Structure 1
Amino acid sequence: MAVTEVLGPGEWLGAELRDGDAWRIPLTEAHKREVLAAVHGDLEGFPLPTLAPILHRVRDELMDGRGFALIQGVPVEEMTEQQCETAALGLAGHVGAVVPQGPGAQPLMHVRDTGADPSRAKSYQHSGRLGFHSDPTDVVALLCVRPARSGGLSAIVSSVAVHNELVRTRPDLAELLYQPWWHDRRTGDGPDSFYTKPICVARPGGGVSVAYGPDYLRSAQRGATVPPFTPAQEETMALLDQLTNDARFTLTMDLREGDMQFLNNHVVLHSRTAYEDHPEPHRRRHLLRLWLTTT
């Protein structure tokens, strides 16, 4: 098949956005009071009179713009852990509909280091570095309750920009992205843990949806019936990893307490550096992850 470049606001370079503030949305004191009132109230729909219109614009930016935004100043320091969950769900609910996660169909996941093996565990269960990847929903949101003592930096890239770079420089490998690849669900060692899907899928009406995750592609190689990577697949992954870690493409965010990051998984890939926690349990890194659909 002939693969072509994808045009639109979803294509951006981190080097061009790094020093700007268009993607940062600091909450005012009035916004913070609205969040706290909604958390402490017993009202339907988590009402946010002045903040809700801003969150609706975030949704528009996610789906029709650059594909990401960072809310800053959610007053987590004034809330209990349960109230932080309520706030995360309430804020996210103004952006999209919450999608249940995990075997227990939870409305959100706690991102903490459990000491799990990074090569076999889910990404939210360990402190190791994560390769650039996307989550399997329209949008992923992360609310930072506490950062790590060191590390844990979030980095994002426009998967559209990376896709277009491959089309321009290696069209033969770009075509390979639209063919089936083996993935690992990391749900055990049985055959149900392994499945195939393309990395890139053309979106209705134009555009591309990129579902890349090198950690899960590589761990799929443990499957008894999964064939080894072809030389062309190895070359494709090496080039994707090179581009996603290129400073031209990458935008890094040091998520601080009260930051809430929203990413469109179709057009943005994200990663995290390894981190080291505080020894005290109550000070350890803690994020809340939500999956959203916007349709």
Structure 2
Amino acid sequence: MAVAEALGPGEWLGSELRGDDTWRIPLTRAHRQEVLAAVHAAGNEAREAHGQEALAAVQAAGSEVSQESFRLPTLAPVLRRVRDELTHGRGFALIQGVPVEELSERQCETAALGLAAHVGAIVPQGPEGAPLMHVRDTGADPARARTKSYQHSGRLGYHSDPADVVALLCVRPAESGGLSSVVSSVAVHNEVVRTRPDLAELLYEPWWHDRRTGDGPDSFYTKPICTVRPGGGVSIAYGPDYLRSAQRGATVPPFTPAQEEVMTLLDDLTNDPRFALTMDFRPGDLQFLNNHVTLHSRTAYADHPDPARRRHLLRLWLSVEGARDRRDRN
């Protein structure tokens, strides 16, 4: 099988974007006021419809947050441009200035859900089908095979999430570390094709992945790292941490020498400063990533000793019209 380079605007180099701020979208004062007004309106509508006691449960379920209920007269067109950038452009964007400092934790959830609803449809996460996940250090041991990446403070390898788009809203950054880095997986794919076409073929063969849902056979499944997208291009589903933890499966074969080699090559390329673009999240930063054409990682972080000041992100998964069909989720 001869693998060709993928074409399209999703190919970029981090070294070329460091002096280009067009991927940053700072909110204006009017935008921030719209977000605050929409959050309070959503809370009032839920309270009137369901009563004070049911308000928290309704907001947690995300059932009351939509484009219609979360009105953003001047910000909505900006979010539509973000959606276009995700599906037809570089595949990522960073909104800056969501007014999290003026919101409670529950209101931050509403803001995240409302802003994301203008970009795509919320995809449930986890066994309980939650509309969003809280990303913070729970003390979970990253060495345990069943620990999820959002539960600990250790470094994460470059990976993609199992939905069209992942959104991360920073409520509070860490005391130190926790930097987010993004690479164009299309650029990485094409570099492998150019330099090691023999290894590129392996990316289109089935690989064992780990859902980390247990120790039984249902936790393990196979799919290629790379698949051809409808209409051309390539979709890349990579996560070295979950590929390596799949080796614990009783029926999962060990990596072949060629698989080890291509994983080493992918890890070298994604960690190459020429490819990677690093972001230091600030409160109110809202990052959107197209998982088909980008990979992202996080450095290890140290938290503030005060629990009220520890790192806290909100993670949402989105299905976005025009993107590839949803992948297998865990």
The TM tier, using the shorter chain, reads: over 0.9
Please name the residue that 1:2 is paired with: 2
- Corresponding residue pairs, total: 295
C-alpha distance in 1, partners of 2:12/2:260? 26
Tell me whether 1:104 sits opposite 2:128 in the alignment: yes
Aligned to 1:193: 219
Residues in 2 aligned to 1:118 and 1:68: alpha-carbon distance in whole angstroms: 27
Say if 2:81 is the partner of 1:57: yes
Q: Using the alignment, how far apart are the partners of 1:162 and 1:72 within structure 2?
A: 27
CA distance in 1, matches of 2:27, 2:157: 30
Q: Of the candidates 225, 233, 246, which is equivalent to residue 251 of structure 2? A: 225
Partner residue in 1 for 2:284: 258
Partner in structure 1 of residue 25 of structure 2: 25
Unaligned runs of 5+ in 2: 46-67, 322-330
SS of the residue 1:41 aligns to: helix
In the aligned structure 1, how far is the partner of 2:75 from the partner of 2:290?
20
Structure 1 residue runs of 4+, over 4 Å off? none
Paired with 2:170 and 2:128, the residues of 1 have a C-alpha distance of 22
Q: Distance in 1 between matches of 2:217 and 2:301?
A: 32
Match of 1:182 in 2: 208
CA distance in 1, matches of 2:316, 2:28: 23
| Residue identity opposite 2:237 in structure 1 | A
Residues 16-63 of structure 1: CA deviation (Å, up to 9, x unaligned): 001211000000000000000000014643000000000000000000
Give the letter for the 2:94 counterpart: L
- 2:313 is the counterpart of 1:273: no
| Pairwise CA distance, 1:188 | 1.1
Aligned-partner residue type, residue 81 of structure 1: E
What is aligned with 2:139?
Answer: 115
Give the partner amino acid of 1:72.
Answer: Q
Unpaired runs of at least 5, structure 1: none
Counterpart CA distance in 1 for 2:177 and 2:218 is 34
SS in 1 for 2:204: coil
Aligned mates of 1:85, 1:255 — CA distance in 2: 17
The residue type equivalent to 1:164 in the other structure is N
Matched, 1:245 2:271: yes
User: 2:93 pairs with 69, 76, 83, which one?
Assistant: 69
| Sequence identity percentage | 82
Paired residue for 1:45?
A: 69
- Displacement after TM superposition at 1:256 (Å): 0.6
Alpha-carbon deviations, 1:160-206, whole Å to 9, x = none? 00000000000010010000000011111111111110000000100
Q: In the TM superposition, what is the alpha-carbon distance from 1:85 to its structure 2 partner?
A: 0.1
Paired residue secondary structure (1:131): strand
Amino acid at match of 1:205: G
Amino acid at match of 2:288: F
| Paired AA for residue 49 in structure 1 | P
- Counterpart of 1:16 in structure 2 is 16
- 2:132 aligned partner, one-letter code: L
